[in-house]
Chains A and B, each alone.
Chain A
Amino acid sequence: MGALVAGRGSGDCAVRLRRAWDILRLRLRSLARPGRVERELEKELRFHLDRQVEENLGVGMPLADARRAALRKLGGVTQIQEECRDMRRTDMIENFARDLRYAIRSLGKNPGFTVVILLTLALSIGANSAIFSVIDGVLLRPLPYPDANRIVRVFFHSASYPHFPLNPFDFRDFRARSRSFESMAGFTRADLQLSGAGQPEHFTGFAVTAGFFRVLGLRPARGHEFGAGEELPGNQQQVLLSDRLWRNRFAADPHIVGRKITLDARPFTVAGVMPPGTEHPGNEYNGVAHGETVDIWWPFAFRGDPTQRGSHFLEVIGRLKKGVAPHAAQAEMNALIAQLAREHPNYLEGWQALVIPLYQEIVGPSQRLLLVLLGAVGLVLLIACANAANLLLARASARQREIAVRTALGAGRARLIRQMLTESLLIAFLGGGLGVVIALAGVRLLVSLLPPDFPRASAIHVNAAVFGFTFLVALATGILFGLAPALQAARTDVQDNLRAGGRGSGSHRGHLRLRSALVVGEIGLACLLLIGAGLMLRSFVNLLRADPGFRPEHLLTARVLLPDATYKADEAPRFWGRLTARLDSVAGIRAAGVGTDLPWTGYDDNVSGFTVEGKKPAANEEFHARYHVASPGYFRAMGIPLARGRFFTAGDTTKAPLAIIVNRSMAQRYWPNQDALGRRITFDDHPKEKDWMTIVGIVADVKDKPDSPTAQMALWWPVDQTPVSVNAMAIAVRGSSDPALLANDLRQAVHQLDPNLAVAAIRSMDDIADANISTPRFALFLVALFAGLALTLAAIGIYGVISYAVSQRRHEFGLRMALGAQPGDVRRLVLRQGVKLAVAGVALGLIAALALGRVLWSLLYEVRPADPVTFVSVSAVAIAVAILACYIPARRATNVDPANALRSE
């Protein structure tokens, strides 16, 4: 034996390899030729038995006794065989195949059971997968830029303006002085108009500083990006085209770079074409959603006086140096703001920098919503699991005799659990498979329901990640809902069941307790979802009922862009005057006006640094407000009511004293408890009498968005008196019926004045309003759908349990009726049992809802998460549904024939 200790080192390794090979061969053999292995074992055991018999004969036993004694000594042959099989370890696979066959057979035997359980699982797994694919596309997939986690957005920040754009010269100083950024760029919405051959066309465009695409990590597919030279005023003669524009409008001309095109009546040279998949990072002011939403880019010019920094409209994006965290960059920006404040007295006091990852800026607002939806759909899955467990338990109780017999025949506990789990996993995977089909359809439905400005909707697909998720969910589901019945089955008391034939034993009471607990949980979860849906419904109704501050019905809007080259100085105001006059004369148009902005479409116009006559700004804050331009008919067309004073008139010309209109918020903020009418402000540091602007009217507040908590302060200038450009304006025309009918009149009116102008973004105000409530509507629809599903599942659950309880108590009910109980008494008895479960579940749900209310807080509009109306009505609905579900088994309880019950007792 000593020699065998020798093989250490390389010999050791060889031995180990050899052993691994032997093991593999043996396993394969047992798998491939199970019959032969079994026969050999039998032969081996027979040999053993024979030798034992021989031995027994040797000590003088008669043959029959020798046999019997030998058999006794050997013990259960079947058990030895079973154990040897266990030792061969192939039993896993063999047993699995057997369990699978068994499971399929037993599912086929109970088609009703199978259909119910599969459908509920498929629906809930499918819904989970669909929501997950949205989350995968929107939240989990990295943004489509290289090293996207280093891209950040830079804003100014104050208490009243969390995301404030920058003044271009602020940006230029930041870019020059900051050390945190690899590169930094500014961009602002600046659409362009192509005229010439064919219909004039309006393109979504952005004016961008040099290196904008470098920040994003993108390069033109052809040509080059703008350089620093293009930022100088007067050097804006180049454009970059989107791939889509290049293909659709320029027939994918391979020699496009260097080609001259006319935009806004000015000559431009094509500097390059961006590759397909160039996604706009999304922006807040005059917002264009993230995605391939932009047609054209052209150079941003730093115009004007670098010491005059009142106007803020530039959005900033930057790429952080490797290893620099956003908050570190933000600290540096704050230091730079302090520097700028020293260099420019009375400027930037009270402002801070905000540096946030681009991902958060794009996805942040949707994150909460999506996670709430995932939570909701996850709850539905939990309920479906409880339901499936309940159904399996119900069936397990019907199969208790069978299980008892199998246990008596020597099936081990682990073996039984494994078999039950095989069955539940089979159900779960079948459900998951169906769920994938439902998810495929569901995702399409979800995407079509998504709000139009939902970020990254184009990235939503059912892909490998979604399949993986579905697989894991199905696996977890199968184990979750299979475990309770499996453990329960393994605990079956053999003797009891064999004797009683599976009726009225102690294990049944435990059984019912478990099932009742499951149902209470189901009802609780369903209540939680119902409360969520109820709160969202109340919030949505509040949103619809809230006064928007304007009247969206019968209102058509459009945008028209007057090229700077052809409309200089006062020509633009004159054009707008002629256009509104022409529109006013059209039959069917009751009011027409133009303005820089439309409600609920986003603004980029903020002005600060004006002086309110007779006032000093509060410490750490200067006077500021949103600014807009409006024609005389604008407010009437928009349906924005006048609170005091007058609207603009044709008399507010360049020669007349300067007039402004303010909204109520501004009036109250700067002239609290006073009449703001007739008060004056100025933008000049050393105003002469003619520089003062007098408030001639006060109009109602319009919030930025329907669910904004408050309206921002705002002021309007008349078209003729405005210090800002009025070349890009929105037109609003109010009719008396369907506004779509006015579209042609509008287009004609514009083209009669100038056939080279594109009338873009023709939309009814109803559509704009609708798009603004589409997110809460989307959330409400889904949560309500899930809550409905949850309630249905819970109803099935309570029905199942009460039915089971009734079937267990048939004899008792029969006896009671034989002793004189009325059917009504028995019904009440059953219903009481159901109501008890329902009340317990509802209580659980209410407590959970109170605890989780904060999750919904930011998604609600003027509803408290602990809204008593919602809580009371949800409780009532849940209990009513529970009573309804219990009514059928309650009726059945009274159908027991007393005589029959007595006889079988």
Chain B
Amino acid sequence: MSKPSDLIQGTLDLLILRTIALQPKHGWAIAKRIEQVSEDVLQVSQGALYPALHRLEQQAWIRAAWRKTETGREAKFYELTTAGRAQLQKELAQWERLSRAVGQVIAQ
């Protein structure tokens, strides 16, 4: 019940980090953004999203701040910390390596 069935744990972390790399976003926007960009292939369950956000925040990869949204409501916006940016680079590189390897095996 805690693990997202459609997303490998860790991959969600990568997606979140990547999604907020350009500008801070709140949880709803992060989930929507991932779904949009992946053309609804990747569904982020909220049950996985918020614990993941909390974990990333607790590990100081991201930091949160309450800000007004465009509609004027208060929402919790997440952005990368410096350490988080480095972490994103590391995870991206790792992902590249992994997906290339998987691709090669499949394409043989």
Contact = CB atoms under 8 A, between A and B. Distances in A.
Given A5-B89, A16-B83, A83 B57 contact: no
A26 B57 contact: yes
Interface string B32-50: 0000000000000111001
B101 interface: no
Given A23-B60, A87-B58, A47 B75 contact: yes
Interface string A73-89: 11110011001101111
Contact of A45 (B50, B60, B81): B50
B51 A48 contact: no
B28 A48 contact: yes
Give the bracket for the number of chain A residues in contact with chain B: 35 or more
Interface in B57-86: 57-60, 63, 66, 73-76, 81-83, 85-86
A749 B66 CA distance: 104
Contacts of A76: 47
A730 B73 CA distance: 105
Interface in A1-24: 1, 4-5, 7, 12, 15-16, 18-20, 22-23
A376 B5 CA distance: 55
Contacts of B24: none
B2 interface: yes
A15 B59 CA distance: 13
A16 B82 CA distance: 9
A76 B46 CA distance: 10
A675 interface: no
A51 interface: yes
A43 B64 CA distance: 14
B85 A84 contact: no
Interface in A24-64: 26-27, 40-41, 43-45, 47-48, 50-52
Interface residues of B, number: 31
A12 B83 CA distance: 9
A44 B46 contact: no
B55 A87 contact: yes
A44 B55 CA distance: 15
B16 to A, nearest CB: 13
Contacts of B57: 26
A74 B46 contact: yes
A15 B82 CA distance: 7
Contacts of B15: none
B20 interface: no
A501 B83 CA distance: 53
B21 interface: yes
A44 B66 CA distance: 10
Contact of B58 (A15, A23, A44, A52): A23
B65 to A, nearest CB: 11
B58 A75 contact: no
Contacts of A89: 58
Nearest to B18: A1
Contact of A88 (B1, B58, B63): B58
Contacts of B47: 74-76, 79-80, 83
Interface in A222-269: none
Contacts of B74: 43, 47
B50 A4 contact: no
B25 interface: no
Contacts of A50: 73
A74 B44 CA distance: 11
Contact of A22 (B21, B26, B63): B63
B50 A1 contact: no
B85 A4 contact: yes
Contacts of B46: 45, 48, 73-75, 80
Contacts of A20: 60
Interface string A760-791: 00000000000000000000000000000000
B100 interface: no
B83 A15 contact: yes
A45 B47 CA distance: 10
B97 interface: no
Given A79-B1, A83-B51, A27 B60 contact: no
B59 A88 contact: no
Contacts of B50: 41, 44-45, 48, 80, 83-84
B28 A47 contact: yes
A47 B86 contact: no
Contact of A26 (B45, B58, B66, B88): B58
A4 B82 contact: yes
25 contacts: A1-B21, A1-B85, A4-B82, A5-B86, A18-B81, A18-B82, A23-B59, A23-B60, A26-B58, A26-B60, A27-B58, A44-B27, A45-B46, A47-B74, A47-B75, A47-B76, A50-B73, A51-B28, A52-B28, A75-B47, A80-B47, A83-B51, A84-B50, A84-B51, A87-B52
Interface of A: 1, 4-5, 7, 12, 15-16, 18-20, 22-23, 26-27, 40-41, 43-45, 47-48, 50-52, 73-76, 79-80, 83-84, 86-89
Given A1-B88, A18-B60, A44-B75, 12 more contacts: A5-B86, A7-B82, A15-B83, A19-B59, A19-B60, A23-B59, A26-B58, A26-B60, A40-B76, A50-B73, A87-B51, A87-B55
